[in-house]
Amino acid sequence: MYSFKNDYSEGAHPNILNKLIETNLVQQAGYGEDDYSTEAKNILKQKLNNDDAKIYFVSGGTQTNFIVIAALLRPHEAVISADTGHIFTNEAGAIESSGHKIIPIPTKDGKIKTEEIANILKEYNSPNTVKPKLVYISNATELGTIYSKNELSALFEFCKSNNLYLFMDGARLGNALTAYDNDLTFSDIAALTNVFYIGGTKNGALLGEAIVFNTSELATDFDYMVKQKGALLSKGRVLGIQFLELFKDDLYFSLAKRANDLCMKIINAAKEQGYSFLAETSTNQAFPILPNKLIEKLMQRYSFYIWEEIDTNFSAVRLITSWATDEDKVDEFIRDLKSLSL
């Protein structure tokens, strides 16, 4: 039984494990003040072309979303998100537990548009309602789609004009930036958001995300929030070393591209068989719509999620490839997809 359920089934890239072993007995300062974390942050600032950025390493995505949103919003302020957004669907009410309402926007491709945000602002426009203050997006989205430079630019300009923060969930940012049809650069993300994070957990790290505030002013006292919410690791070196290894030679992007390329093999094979998709994707997530009888046969050999029931005969499934996915298993899945479809 081979898993296509997620992109964190494996441990970490060997470069990271080797560096952790190599530095294991080197004494360092705690709480993220170690040399490795400092060097990793400097490398990220250079690659983002933003010396003013403030960077914080934490352990997980839900933790990141919770702390960032709690830090930026006043008690009466709310978040706008696609209804597919991770904070709305898969975080057990973490954002709401901090006292902030999530206002969802229905979407079929995981992305939101300026006119949809404008409609929310018209609806929530008095002290009788919560006040929308932050727009949350994911890139790549939870449906594997990506934002173009024009789309992100439009969102950022709209948010600036309407005094809103734009926060990008980058759990799969590497996959977005290495997609064949992507036109955004790493430094574009820094220029076209207020805050975003770089996901390590789903792209070769044991664990870890890098929160990036694109202006130091916006990050005022954020270190206090990180500590208060239990996210400040005494052994911060564990996170710093991972991001240092991922970014010093752009390993981060080569791993993401590999995952994308393997997923595209599956997507192209499914298209050749005539299957349609829940969403058109170019990253490491595929959502083919398959006959339920075929799904039953495939699930005897592979694990993956049934994502959405289309009708009594068909369902959309989610298949994810990772930096460490076995290409032979991808080819085997493709052979089975073809043979079992007969």
Q: How many CA atoms lie within 13 A of 62 on its CB side?
A: 11
Interval 233-259 mean pLDDT: 97
**Are residues 20 and 241 in contact, defined by beta-carbon separation less than 8 angstroms?**
yes
pLDDT given at position 341: 83
- Could you tell me which CATH number the domain at 2-7+252-339 has? 3.90.1150.10
Model pTM score? 0.97
**pLDDT beyond 90 at 342:** no
37: confidence class by pLDDT, cuts 50, 70, 90: very high
pLDDT given at position 235: 97
Interval 173-202 mean pLDDT: 98
In 10 A of CB 160, how many CB atoms? 12
Residues 6+ apart with CB under 8 A from 295: 306, 315, 317
The beta strands (E) that lie in the chain are given as: 2-3, 54-58, 77-82, 102-105, 131-138, 165-169, 195-199, 209-213, 285-286, 289-291, 302-303, 305-309, 314-320
**pLDDT beyond 80 at 38:** yes
181: confidence class by pLDDT, cuts 50, 70, 90: very high
Residues 6+ apart with CB under 8 A from 188: 149, 152
Name which residue leads in pLDDT, 342 or 111.
Answer: 111
**Are residues 206 and 51 in contact, defined by beta-carbon separation less than 8 angstroms?**
no
pLDDT given at position 45: 98
Interval 201-205 mean pLDDT: 98
Find the Cα–Cα–Cα–Cα dihedral 13, 16, 21, 22, rounded to 10°.
130
Q: Which part of the chain is CATH 3.90.1150.10?
A: 2-7+252-339
Compute the mean pLDDT over every residue in the chain, rounded to the nearest whole number.
Answer: 97
Interval 112-124 mean pLDDT: 98
Interval 248-274 mean pLDDT: 97
**pLDDT beyond 90 at 11:** yes
pLDDT given at position 210: 98
Interval 128-136 mean pLDDT: 98
Q: Is 210 helix (H, G, I), strand (E, B) or coil?
A: strand
Interval 259-264 mean pLDDT: 98
Q: Is 200 helix (H, G, I), strand (E, B) or coil?
A: coil
pLDDT digits (tens, 9 = 90+) for 71-100: 999 999 999 999 999 999 999 999 999 999
Interval 233-251 mean pLDDT: 97
**pLDDT beyond 90 at 47:** yes
Interval 206-232 mean pLDDT: 97
Q: Give the architecture (CATH level 2) of 14-250.
A: 3-Layer(aba) Sandwich (3.40)
Q: Which part of the chain is CATH 3.40.640.10?
A: 14-250
In 10 A of CB 92, how many CB atoms? 8
pLDDT given at position 9: 95
